[in-house]
Amino acid sequence: MSRILLATFGSLGDLHPYIAVGRALRARGQQVVVATSSDYRAAVEEAGLEFAPVRPSIESLGDKETVARVLFDPLRGAEHLVREFLMVHLRDTYEDMTRAAVGADLLVSHPITFTVQLVAERMQRPWVSTVLAPLSMMSVDDPPVLSGAEWIHSLRRFGRWPYVAMVSVVRSVTRRWEAPLREFRRELGFPASSKLYLFEGQFSPLANFALFDAPLAAPQADWPFNTQVCGTPLFDGAMAPPDLLADLEQFLAAGEPPLVFVLGSSAIWMAGDYWNHAIAATQLLNRRAILITGPNVPTGLPSGIRAYSYLPYSAVLPRAAAVLHHAGIGTLSQALRAGVPQIITPVAFDQPDNAARAARLGVARVLPFRRVMPQRLRDEIAALLGDPTYAGAARRIADDLRKTDGAAVAADRLIACLAQR
């Protein structure tokens, strides 16, 4: 039996894939520790996995609504995340990650767990990198849609050069963000590296696992040479209380399949009037709806509209007329397997790119989050449900994805990496 450390940081969409892989590894007789923010101790331990706290905690970063407004800024959100929330905690993170890695035979990194490879280097342990969404590849052969600069994607018709120029600019900016990481490497006595962590520096020489679904992105010549696409490792979160599931079943049985609106675990904190717009659009269409809103559950809802703070996606998305969501990669993966058409309202980070890829698969229409208004939302839903090609494409993609267990594939390949070592 080997001990494998799975490191991650972020929202539930960043946590759940590693819980899924951890459970698959445990089922194969491996010992697993999930190293992440202390906020997720209960979720990890309830899944039957060992937990190791790593600073910073999500709670310590500040009021969730304020933090969400800062991080979901389409132009500077990524900069705020790296410079103000991650780099300032490097030493604490390194200390905690070192403690978590004691006795580990293999370390597994997430795209923004900056210290994993430092710990692996210091402890002389092998490590494997993972990415959760195609955006992390920053391919110029399959250029992503960038939050705050979506217009650049229209230049694809001119070939690679617009993206080559854009990546050069982004690299220059990112180098400034990562200055504290280079300084910390020097403090630790490590050799200087010209690699940028958010680009080529995050990828392990041993293996890089793409934990997203193959239909979203085909392997490209400029991907790391050792990348393996595993598929999305799915974990549905905590078990819902029986009375909640009974209420859901009663609602679903009472009429036609509803529209289902979700904003994941982070975009909910900047929802603003989104739920009111969703309710208004639903009423304009004379349809039923379910809202999964997080802790701030609206009250006094019209007949035919039900709101829940939480529901397991697998219990509700396959029974929807359509799923309306923000394109967080975890939510998108669940929506693709539900086999129903989608309206995607991306906010920031990888979401605009995820949304564009879903639209190219023919399963979704895209409406930017900041343009969500009742009339516009109503028109998009009517166009989606009025065109059967969306539902047909959704069923075909779902049938294909159900053949792959991303958690099992990733677990088997991690064990193979141990054998290689």
pLDDT at residue 63, rounded to an integer: 87
Q: What is the pLDDT of residues 326-379, one digit of tens each?
A: 999 999 999 999 999 999 999 989 999 999 999 999 999 999 999 999 999 999
Q: What is the DSSP string of 286-302?
A: T--EEEE-TT----SPP
Which backbone phi and psi does 229 adopt, to 5 degrees? Answer: -85, 120
Helix or strand or coil: residue 92? helix
CA distance 262 to 260: 7
At the second CATH level, the architecture of 3-189+198-231+404-420 is 3-Layer(aba) Sandwich (3.40)
Hey, CA dihedral for 192, 198, 199, 202, is it positive or negative? positive
The domain segmentation of the chain, as residue ranges, is 3-189+198-231+404-420, 242-401
pLDDT at residue 200, rounded to an integer: 94
pLDDT at residue 24, rounded to an integer: 98
Query: Check: CATH 3.40.50.2000 for 242-401?
Result: yes
> Within the chain, how many helices (H) and strands (E) appear?
16, 13
Distance of CA 318 to the CA centre of its chain: 20
Cβ count within 10 A of residue 66: 12
Q: Does pTM surpass 0.85?
A: yes
pLDDT at residue 275, rounded to an integer: 97
Q: What is the pLDDT of residues 69-102, one digit of tens each?
A: 888 888 888 999 999 999 999 999 999 999 999 9
* Residues of the chain with confidence (pLDDT) below 70: 421
pLDDT at residue 74, rounded to an integer: 81
pLDDT at residue 266, rounded to an integer: 87
Strands (E), 164-241: 208-210, 227-229
CA distance 17 to 40: 13
Minimal CA–CA distance to 145: which of 346, 386, 383? 346
Q: Is 242-401 in the same CATH topology as 3-189+198-231+404-420?
A: yes
